Amino acid sequence: MLEYVFAGIALGSIYAIAASGIVVTYVSSGVLNFAFGSMAYFLARFYYYLNSEHGWSSIPALVVSVFVAGPALGAFLYLLLFRHLRLSSPLIRIVSTIGVSVALPPAALMLFGNETITTAPGLAHQPIRTYKIFGASANLDQIIAVGCVLAVVVLGTLLLQFTDVGLKVRAMVDTEAMTSLSGVSPAKISICVWMVTTALAGLAGVLAAPSSGLTPGGMTALMASGFAAVVAARLRSLPAAVGVAMGMGILTDVSQKYLPVNSSLTNAILLSIPVFVMGAFLLAYVAVSGQINEASSTGGALDNAIRPMGGSDAATASSNAAVVANRSGWSPYMLGPVVVIGIIALLPLLLSGYWLTLLAGGFAFAVLFLSYTMVVGEGGMIWLCQASFAGIGALATAQLATNHGVNPLLAVLIGGLIATPVGVIIGLLTIRLGNLYVALVTLTFGLLAETLIFTRDVFYQDGLGVLVARPSYLLDDRSFAYFALAVFVVLALVVVNLRRSTTGLALAAVRYSEAGARTVGLSILGMKLLVAAISTFIAAIGGGLLALNYQSAMPMSYATFAGLVWLAVFVTIGLRSVTAAVLAGISFTLLPGVFQTYLSATWGNVPTILFGLGAVMVALHPDGQVAMNARQLQGFVVKVAGRRGRHHGARPPGSPPAAKEILTSPDVTGLVETSR
Amino acid sequence: MTAKPAETPSPGARLECENVTVRFGGVIALDSVSLSVPPSTIVGLVGPNGAGKSTLFSVLSGLRRPNSGRVRFEGADITRMSAQARARRGLARTFQHPEMFTGLTAREHIMLSHRMSTRRSRIWTDILTARGFRPADHDEVERVDQLLEALNLTEISNQPVAGLPLGMTRLVELARALASSPKVLLLDEPSSGLDAQETEQVMRVFERAVELSGVSLLLVEHDVAMVLRLCSYVHVLDFGVEIGAGTPEEIRNNDAVRAAYLGDETAAGVASIEPQGAGS
């Protein structure tokens, strides 16, 4: 038993280091670092590169990879990205860090090699020595992990409590705005914090690699464990996060003693423990205080006064106070998407073979991306489990069509209907949570579905998934491409229709101000559940189409990390445009095809890096590239029209009269009969 | 301006609360507060910072549940009713810090509020009737245009409100509230951030709204002169307790109010306000 406790303390120590890094960056900069797992992977991969591939001994390799490259990476990312996020909305902060998390693993592959790593060594020399403590054995890797967390806690406490820098950091944690007004540069403090916490990510990655595996997925699981501890600590309390992390580690290893050995279910349950811990704490907090919102728990009064509210929209809207086209009825601006989709519809006639297969897959992805348009773009809800819904749709399609003889297209539809209640339940569970908690809960739900459901033999089939045949009339890729595009067009029309109708206005109202929306008679619950239901249905339909495209439902194609890459692709092109969804879909399949066909294998990772960087750019262009270009075009048209208008003596559209001019104009006599 | 009510609110009050108490942990934000808002009148609610005015507004509009006490709307108990259900019954409000749908235009604010009060169950009809691809109803356009014109918002009607100055933002918020054809409108510090001229303009809008539509207004305001001029009846809160209530004249002469809230200097200033404002 004691051996399990020792192993648990060691695992908990790794979780605690991860949780410390995440909490410190959150409280000091307001950014919950969704790239923590990828940073850990990047630096641990660098350590492996030096230690295992180039024969460096562990200490110099650790110093260079974690304590030199770590801070350098942190400083680089801060200067490139994180400094722009200080006053960004929660959506932009999350999406930007997801961009980093998507870009770093392929960058590591390009820099350090594409080799598949089955086992990674820790810091202890091989073979690992074991010691007897109170009669139970503990290996050197475990002892080093505990030593590391003790060092982090002691050094961190000394630094924070007894140094000038620590005082400044603590002041900035309480209120960044007031610290700034006191003459302390938040930028200098922030860059130091990011350097230290990136080094912590590297340390956690190196320590976790032997047990979690040196893969982006393994490090995402490490990050999720850190997140669970951080949620338990309500994002702020470092001692609580460390305590819960240690407890989680011990619980995981002690549970191992009582679960059957060599069972895939045992492994799935052990991996799911952090998710259960997070769920339990969230339920407890909601039960006690009614709701949890991260905004109310950070910063002082002045910080709250200057903090942007809502989704990305407030920032976007304020920076783009242009004239908005009337959203009712037909408008000339609707011609743009019609023309783009019309041109795209010609592509299946122009392409053949490999490229046509990729295009058909791209159209299936376009349907999937529409679910992001709905949930993130329209609903302003940061859901990170759309891949799981797509997976549910794909697995249901394959099961129904192959094992139960249901028509494949009907199976896709039923798959959508099966997934929809799951999305509604997630919507209900997260209704009382702030944006950040919603992102965390949906991320961990995705990991739960991935480890507990997708790995079942009935779906997994040794990684090949269940085969699913297309109907005879959709066997060739051209027919299937047109079918997928037709499904996309129908669903896109539903989304556009909703956006332009009262429901769309209501969704936007809820996105911008829940209090304002409630006082005009809108039900927040109803609106959010509507978004949840529609987006989940669309994601599952997209997943079913993907299964038909590949003619197999491979569960690991719907891994949570893959979903983060999809989100990065989607936000790179555009958050709220259906045109962007179809462009994102075909870019996602065709661009890697171009790189793989015309460039060497090393360059195959570049598209993913580009998509990650695209998501990072959301910090600068919150609506994505398509929306930005469309708005520039629209601005140009308005400008030209305005110039013409001025020639005729009219006020150019978009140049409002001064407040005073309006308020001091003749008496407000027109209120006749209008307010009853 | 409509005829002033009797010295105490009429028994057929549109909105009333009775012994409302709100506690935040050990702090009592509202201690057994009661008030009523009769039809077609403007009732004022004043008090220094921290008096509990905004908390009472949150209770009345349904954004916060009281620990004890009752809220009634046209005689029906709405204490446990949600904010959106109250809004559908005809209770609208504005906020001290305007709660705007920043990416929507002024026109869309008004349109949404108008539609919420006139149509129901639109999600399925929106989907099935392709509502988003059809132009807005003629009646709706006319009504929205009228309201925009009434508040001189026509020129900026198609601009996202995020870029508007505070004065215009308050007008859009007021237009949004009026577009729902409310029976009672709660106004939380509507003159905050406005200059004297703008405040005068807003006051005229309130008076005309009451006169032409019969809406009842409950006005929270720091500008005591504005309250005493507009309101038929005024409640004064301090530290969550009602320390005075009555007509503006009674409030002027209420020693407790003068001592606890207005202070001698301000009271002198208030006394100098001539009644010509009240009924104009």
**Closest residue in chain A to residue B153, using alpha carbons only:** A662
Question: Would you call B208 and A330 a contact, using CB atoms and an 8 Å cutoff?
Answer: no
Distance separating alpha carbons of residues B85 and A311, to the nearest angstrom:
25
Residues 6+ apart with CB under 8 A from A20: A152, A153, A156, A200, A238, A241, A242
Best residue of A331, A668, A673 to probe chain B, by most B CBs closer than 10 Å = A668
Q: Which amino acid is at A94?
A: I
Question: Does B132 reside within a domain?
Answer: no
What is chain B's percent helix, strand, coil content, to nearest 5? 45, 20, 35
The angle formed by the CA atoms of residues A222, A225 and A230, to the nearest 5 degrees, is 125
B145 assigned to some structural domain = no
With 0-12 CB in 10 A as exposed, 13-18 as middle and 19+ as buried, what is A33?
buried
User: Chain A interface, mutation test: which of B61, B123, B138, B148, most A Cβ atoms within 10 Å?
Assistant: B123
Type of residue found at A98? I
Mention every residue, 6+ apart, whose C-beta is less than 8 A from residue A326.
B107, B158
Residue A647, burial from CB neighbour count under 10 angstroms (0-12, 13-18, 19+): exposed
Provide the token pair at A316. Answer: 């976007």
Distance in Å, alpha carbon of B247 to nearest chain A alpha carbon: 26
DSSP annotation string for A463-530: GT-EE-PPPGGG-SHHHHHHHHHHHHHHHHHHHHHHHHSHHHHHHHHHHH-HHHHHHTT--HHHHHHH
A/B interface, count of CB pairs below 8 Å = 235
The pLDDT value given to residue A114: 80
What are the structure tokens assigned to A359, written together? Answer: 């295009």
Q: B78, B131, B178, B181: best mutation site toward chain A, by most A Cβ within 10 Å?
A: B131
Min Cα distance B200 → chain A (Å) is 9
Here the tokens at position A445 are 């739900």
pTM for this entry: 0.79
**Based on the number of CB atoms within 10 Å of its own CB, is B23 exposed (0-12), middle (13-18) or buried (19 or more)?**
middle
Distance, in angstroms, between B191 CA and closest chain A CA?
12
Shortest distance between the Cα of A569 and any Cα of chain B, in A, equals 24
Interchain contact B106–A (C-beta under 8 A):
no
DSSP 8-state class, residue A375: I
Q: Do B116 and A521 touch (CB under 8 A)?
A: yes
- Bridge partners of residue B220, in order along the sequence: B45, B188
Q: How confident is the model at residue B263, as a pLDDT?
A: 56
* B208 touching A (Cβ < 8 Å): yes
B146–chain A Cβ distance below 8 A for any pair: yes
* Cβ atoms within 10 Å of A670's Cβ, excluding its own: 17
Q: Using an 8 Å CB-CB cutoff, list chain A residues near B61.
A: 519
* Cβ distance of B87 and A523 shorter than 8 Å: no
Write out the DSSP string of A400-428. Answer: IIIIS---HHHHHHHHHHHHHHHHHHHHH
Q: Tell me, what's the ipTM?
A: 0.79
Walk along chain B (280 residues) and give the pLDDT tens digit of each residue.
343 443 444 467 889 999 999 988 778 889 899 999 999 899 999 888 788 888 999 999 988 889 999 999 988 899 988 888 898 889 999 998 889 998 889 999 999 998 888 876 567 777 777 777 777 788 888 889 888 888 888 888 888 888 888 888 888 998 899 888 899 999 998 888 777 877 887 888 888 888 888 899 999 987 778 888 889 999 988 888 888 888 888 888 888 777 766 555 454 444 444 443 333 3
Residue of A nearest to B177 (CA): A520
Q: Quote the pLDDT of residue A332.
A: 67
CATH number of the domain at B61, please.
3.40.50.300
Instruction: Give buried/exposed letters for B225-250 (b at 16+ CB in 10 A, else e).
Output: bbbbbbbbbbbbbbbbbbbbbbbbee
Record: contact B158-A512, CB cut-off 8 A:
no
CA terminus-to-terminus distance, chain A: 75
How many Å separate Cα A283 from the centre of its chain? 22
Torsions phi, psi for A657 (to 5 deg): -70, 155
CB contact under 8 A, A509 and B149: no
The shortest C-alpha distance from B173 to chain A (Å) reads: 9
Say how far apart CA B223 and CA A639 lie, in whole Å. 42
Chosen for mutation from B95, B100, B104, B198 (greatest number of chain A CBs closer than 10 Å) is B104
- B 27-66 → A contacts, CB under 8 A: 61-63
Low pLDDT (below 70) residues in chain A:
87, 173-180, 290-333, 619-676
In A, which residues are within 8 Å of B116 by CB distance?
506, 520-522
**Cβ-contact B101, B173 below 8 angstroms:** no
DSSP, res B105:
B
The SS3 of residue A328 is coil
Residues of chain B with C-beta less than 8 angstroms from the C-beta of A660? 167, 195, 197-198
Structure tokens at B7: 């010295």
A78 touches A570 (CB < 8 A): no
Structural domain includes residue B214: no
Is residue B17, in this structure, part of any structural domain at all? yes
- Measure in Å the smallest separation between the Cα of A371 and chain B Cα atoms: 16
Nearest Cα residue to A296 out of A538, A90, A125, A24: A90
Is B74 part of any domain?
Answer: yes
**What pLDDT, on a 0 to 100 scale, did the predictor assign at position B1?**
39
Give the total number of structural domains in chain B.
1
**Shortest CB distance from B151 goes to which of A317, A494, A668?**
A668
φ, ψ at B61 (rounded to 5°): -85, -5
* Interchain proximity B99–A328, CB inside 8 Å: no
Residue among A316, A328, A497 minimizing CB distance to B103: A316
Task: Scan residues 216-275 of B and list those with Cβ closer than 8 Å to A.
Answer: none
- Give rounded-to-5 percent helix, strand, coil for chain A: 75, 0, 20
Confidence at residue A357, expressed as pLDDT on a 0 to 100 scale? 93
Quote the crossing angle between the two packed helices A524-550 and A353-372, to the nearest 10°. Answer: 170
CB contact under 8 A, B116 and A520: yes
Indicate which of A304, A502, A525, A534 best probes the interface with B, i.e. most B CBs within 10 Å of its own CB: A502
Tell me the nearest-neighbour CA distance from A507 into chain B, angstroms: 10
Distance CA B143, CA A449 (A): 51
* C-alpha distance from B235 to closest chain A C-alpha (Å): 23
Does residue B115 sit within a domain?
no
| Predicted local distance difference test score (pLDDT) of residue B124 | 73
Q: Is the dihedral of CA B94, B99, B105, B110 positive or negative?
A: negative
Residues of A in contact with B108 (CB under 8 A): 324, 327, 505, 508
A207: its two tokens: 């320590």
pLDDT value for A659: 30
Residues whose CB is less than 8 angstroms from the CB of residue B212 and which lie 6 or more positions away in sequence, other chains included: A671, A672, A673, A675, A676
Residue B269 lies inside a defined structural domain of this protein:
no
Q: What is the pLDDT of residue A290?
A: 67
Expressed as residue numbers, the domain containing B250 is: 1-90+232-255
CA distance A311 to A294: 14
Q: Sort strands B15-24 and B68-73 into parallel, antiparallel or unpaired.
A: antiparallel
Residues of A with Cβ-Cβ distance to B155 under 8 angstroms: 651, 656-657, 662
The answer to whether position B46 is within a domain reads yes
Strand (E) or helix (H) holding B18? strand B15-24
